[in-house]
Each structure stands twice: as structure tokens, then as C-alpha cells.
Structure 1
Amino acid sequence: FKPSLLHSAGKFVAELKTHIDKIWPPGGGASHNLSPLEISDLMGKFSRFEAVLEAELQSIGGYIVTQKSGFDTAAMVENGQVFFNKELESKVPEAIPDVRQAMRCIAFELPTAAGFHLHRANESVLRKFWDSVTNGKERPSNGNMGVYLSALRDAGAGKKSTL
């Protein structure tokens, strides 16, 4: 979650910190014994902060993402293209949004959605491949992968072993 979304709780944190700094000035050591009134006041401020924080956390869309093997979960959710060849971004930039979404779907355990996005990224790569091996010949009107592969075969474009 983004702490900046916790507006009211942030105000209470500042108030709580100011109060604690008055009781125990920074660098002053912990030799000061708190009076019952100071303890009560501090507990009251903390209780108000806790209540506001709880209320704000309930209004924020939060998700728990479990670790996926040795992969960096934050990178999967926020920057999924790092799991692919670095050349993908420069050679097929139109595939990057789907690659990012696919990795996010894998992190959130949505395999069907991940497959959908990976298939779309693969289609983007196939279109770039078509442009490259046909020297910019007009693309097939039907964007179906089978149509592209048949047209590549018919045109004798690309390496036969890759088709």
C-alpha cells in the first residue's frame, strides 16, 4: 500500500511523535520516568491513532501477494518486463504492457489471465517478426497467429525450422 494514502493517520503520527519528543527529547536518554498523567495522555493519543489507522486501512484496496519461488514479488507486480530478455523492450515495445500484466497476473495467481497476456505479447512479437522477415510487406488482414504463420510459410519468409 502507499503510505501517502493514509491522510488522517499521518496527522496522528505527527501528533504522537511531537508528544513523545516532548516527553523524551531526542538524544536526551531514557532516564525520565513517566507520570501516570503522561502515560494516560500517551496511551490516549496512541489509541486515537490506532483507531484512525484501522479505519483508513479498511478503506484501502490492499492485497497480500505470496512469494513465488525465488522471484522478486515487487518486481513481478510493478516491473514485470525485467523477467524477459532485455532486448524485448527495444525490439517490441508494444509487447511490454502485456508482459507487465502477465507477470502481475502470475504474482496474483491468475494463470488464465497471465496466459491471455502472454499470448498477446507473443502476437506482438509475431507481428514484428513479420515486418522484419517480409521487409515490411503488408500484414495479413486477419491478425490470427495461424494466418500469420501460413502467410509466412507461403511467402517463404523466415527460417523454415522456425515456422
Structure 2
Amino acid sequence: MRETDLQIFYHLGKALADARRVTAGMSASNALRLLFWPEDWLRAFLQQTDHSNFSSRNPIPVPDSRAAAEELLSRIKAINKRGHADYNENHFITPDDFTSLVVALDRFESDFARECKDINVFTVTDKGTHSPRKLLAQAELNLPLAVRQRLNKKSLADLKAAGRCLAFETPTAAGFHVLRAVEPLIVKYLSLIPAQVSKKKNTSRNWGAYIAVLKKHGGDKRVVAALEHVKDFFKDFYRNPIMHPEVTLNPDQALSLFHACLSLVVQLDAAIQTWRPTTSPASGLSSTP
């Protein structure tokens, strides 16, 4: 995925209107005044559509337009080169210059009018007060700096993924990732308090079990309340409810869950930072991918 700079297409179209004003018999220096910006924006167009500038290696699908733009740029550069040297206005646009320029312009505009329909440009709307740009690139900024610095790489990656899913309106996937971002912190907190969870083969190690352990062994009441708030999103509670095929979220639910989990991350981080050992820590708890 990469960002498409639409202003390049706008300014190129505007500049090519000036190129249409070039006429046969015009001095090369006057033609330069009309073709300076078309040359500049054609370069920008070719750079924007060049896949080698992007790690994805997926070019914008306008191959014919790129070929036509390169031909048009070549024609314009040849005229502009003479224009730069035409201090005394002794060089003029010949009929052949004019014809080749018009043909190149027509070809580019025709090819781009056809191929631009294949450019995947969509409008990604705000999600609540969240801008798509921030959700796509920096969803973790919704957490305080100190919390972000202590967050492990796995949780951070899932939080970023949740932001992207929210931006692109895949709400159930957003819920899946934001819950995955939280669970390592739950397990870390549980590993600190003096609690033991049964290791029997059929023991259910889900969020409900986590809440029960925290209640029984004096876990932070704010953490328990935040966990129960997240649990209330689901009718049937599984270890990771979003992984169950019957559970789906709509965009509003996903956004609410995202906010609830952000609050839970902050509460868990605070509980972990303020915890002081009184007995030996619990063992046998671990999160799974």
C-alpha cells in the first residue's frame, strides 16, 4: 500500500492546457514559457507511477500512459532546450515541432483518460475522531508515550494492525487484533500476583478465567472492571472471542472495543508498574499467538 499524490495529476492537467497554446511559428523562448511547467509535472507524473520508488514493487496500472508521457516529455525537452538558448528569439517552432507535440499530447491524454479508471483511489473516512492517516500509520499514538515505550513488540504490532483494520472498515479483524494486543499484558499482570491457575488438560484459560483469578486474588479493581467491560461485548465468551466464527462486529462495535482496549492497556500498564511483590509470583500462565 502506498499513498497517491493526486495533486500531481491535477497540476499536470493544468500545465498541459498551457502546452496546447504552443503554435507553429512561435519563438522557442515563448514556447519555453508555456512548456516549462508541463516538463516539470510530467517528470513528477513518471516518478509517481514508477514502481521502483516503492517497496511494494506494484506499479500504478498506467503502462500506456507512462509510455506516452515519456514520449511527450522527450518532445517538450527538445523544444525547451532550444528555448533556453534562444536569447534573441531567433529560433521558432516549426510545423514538424508543432505536429509532433500535438500528436504526443493527444496520445497521452487519450491513454490516461482510459487507464486512470484503473487507479485504485478511494476515500477513507474518519472513524469517530480518528483520522485515517493516523489509524493507518500510528494507531499506537492513542496511548501515552510512557505506555507505548513499555509495550512489547507483539502488542504494538497488533495495535497497529487494529488501526489499519478500523481505517479500512474490517471491524471484526480490528477486534481480533486489538484483543491480541491486550492479552500479553493480562498474562504479564497475572504472572505477578500470587495466583495459581490449574494446569489440568481441560482447564479453560480464557478471559473469564483471568477475571476470576484477579477477583479471587486481589487484582486491581480498575483492571477487573476494564476487563469485564470488554467481556460485555460478547454473548458467549471464549478465550479470544473474536476468533470464534459466530462472533462478528460492526464498525461502531469495533471502534468502541478499540477504545475500551486502549483504556484496558493503560490500566494494566499502571497496575504492572505499581505492583509490589508480597509473595512468590504465579507460574504457568502464558499467552499464545
TM-score calculated relative to the size of structure 1: 0.67
Find the aligned partners of 2:166 and 2:73 in 1 and give their Cα distance: 40
Structure 1 residues not aligned, in runs of 5+: none
Shift of 1:34: 4.5
For 2:175, which of 115, 118, 129 is the aligned residue? Answer: 115
> Quick check: which has more Rg, 1 or 2?
2
| Contact kept in structure 1, 2:197 and 2:213, CA below 8 Å | no
Task: Kindly state the Cα deviation for residue 106 of structure 1 after the two structures are TM-superposed.
Answer: 2.4
Instruction: Please give the alpha-carbon distance, in whole angstroms, between the structure 1 residues aligned to 2:127 and 2:168.
Output: 10
Alignment of 1:1-163 (within 5 A): 1=2, 3=49, 4=51, 5-6=59-60, 8=63, 9-25=65-81, 28=84, 34-35=93-94, 37-53=96-112, 57-59=116-118, 61-67=120-126, 71-86=130-145, 87-88=147-148, 90-131=150-191, 133-134=192-193, 142-156=204-218, 158-163=219-224
Cα distance in 1, alignment partners of residues 183 and 75 from structure 2: 59
Q: Which runs of 5+ in 2 are unaligned?
A: 4-48, 52-58, 225-289
Q: Which has the higher helix share?
A: 1
CA 1:98 to 1:47, structure 2 compared with 1: closer, same or farther past 3 Å?
farther
How many residues align structurally? Answer: 161
SS at match of 2:84: coil
Aligned-pair identity in percent equals: 25
Report the CA distance shift for 1:24/1:119 in structure 2 as closer, same or farther (over 3 A).
same
Report if aligned partners of 1:89, 1:96 keep a CA contact under 8 Å in 2: no
> Given residue 120 of structure 1, which amino acid in structure 2 is its aligned partner?
R
| Alignment root-mean-square deviation, CA | 3.9
**CA apart distance, 1:148:** 0.9
